[in-house]
Amino acid sequence: MGGSGYKDYFNLLGVQRDATSDDIKDAFRRLARKYHPDLNSGDANAEEKFKEVNEAYEVLSDPDKRRKYEQFGQYWNSAGGMPGGGHGFDVDFGRYGNFDDFINELLGRFGRAQGPSAFNDEFHGSSSFHRAKQRTPANLDAEVVVKITFGEAFRGTERTLAVNEERVHVLIPKGVKTGSRLRLKGKGNFQPGVGRRGDLYLKLNVETHPIWNINGEQLCAELPVSIEELVLGAIVKVITPDGDAELTIPAGTSVGKSFRLREKGWPFPNGRGDLIFTLSLELPSSWTEKQLELLKQIKSIRKEDPRESWLRRARL
């Protein structure tokens, strides 16, 4: 393609004539993605631009070819070094799992190429494409981790994700947990030149909550109570995912006792789990003189040892 007339390869890649190898590589990666045939189906102009930027990169990425091109201009080909040997640009796309694999290998192979044959042997010819079709199809599925809050997991939420240069709107159902996976059919990686596309899997990571934790379909929490509420009993205010509620604690309840509110817990496809409150003793951070005096009175009139039963059962 380079012998019939002069092509400004620097202009084709959009770089200055003193561009570094990294500048050239970055420009090629950007333009190859922009004009890739799979992303411009049926666009003959884009296909031609795709071939031109590949030709430009093959010349400018090779120090010897670049030197000849800069020295001889449109006659550089006569000094040795015709990209592609005049055979066109045929790529065995079927061998790549996704577009980035294709670009990365192409960059590496152009960097290693020392003459026309290195390019043609790897990328040209219908026999390569025929062999590719006989290989095991590439796994084009992809997975991405999506973080959501505890409340979003309980109620359900939405996300808009950038996937392969397109925006995908996702509905996350209520009741998901850490490790849950959602499948977006046909939103995974492309297989260039073949038209296949894999699925995208969203692996969900639910943030922990300072109070609530999930146990199966049960939603559990510790409920702090005072000494007098345990001893005398009480009706205490609690928070549930559905709003405020009241819980009755009978007199003489022990620490560690659990109370169940049925069908107030974690949602699942056909209903709700239970809500479990486990009582824990909350002592004051400081005591008044009156409180301490009352505790001393209780101690003085205590009749039983609180560890008597425990001591008896602990003996070996």
pLDDT value of residue 119: 34
pLDDT value of residue 80: 47
Q: Per DSSP, what are the bridge partners of residue 258? A: 278
pLDDT per residue of the chain (316 residues) written in tens, 0 to 9: 444 456 888 888 998 988 898 888 888 888 888 887 777 777 888 888 888 888 888 888 888 888 887 776 666 665 444 444 433 344 454 454 555 555 555 555 444 444 443 333 334 333 333 344 444 556 788 888 999 999 999 999 998 888 777 888 899 999 999 999 999 888 888 776 667 888 889 999 999 999 999 999 999 999 999 999 999 999 999 999 889 999 999 999 999 999 999 999 999 988 999 999 999 999 999 999 999 999 999 989 988 888 888 898 999 8
* CB proximity list for 259: less than 8 A, separation 6 or greater: 223, 247, 249, 276, 277, 278, 279
pLDDT value of residue 245: 92
Q: Which helix (H) or strand (E) holds 131?
A: helix 126-134
pLDDT value of residue 110: 47
Domains recognised in the chain with CATH numbers: 9-134 (1.10.287.110), 142-206 (2.60.260.20), 213-314 (2.60.260.20)
**Residue of 133, 268, 134, 140 whose CA lies nearest to 200:** 140
pLDDT value of residue 286: 93
pLDDT value of residue 297: 93
- Say how many residues make up the chain: 316
pLDDT value of residue 74: 62
pTM listed for this prediction = 0.53
Beta-strand runs (E) in the chain: 142-148, 157-163, 166-172, 181-184, 190-191, 196-197, 200-206, 213-215, 218-225, 234-240, 243-249, 258-261, 267-268, 271-272, 275-281
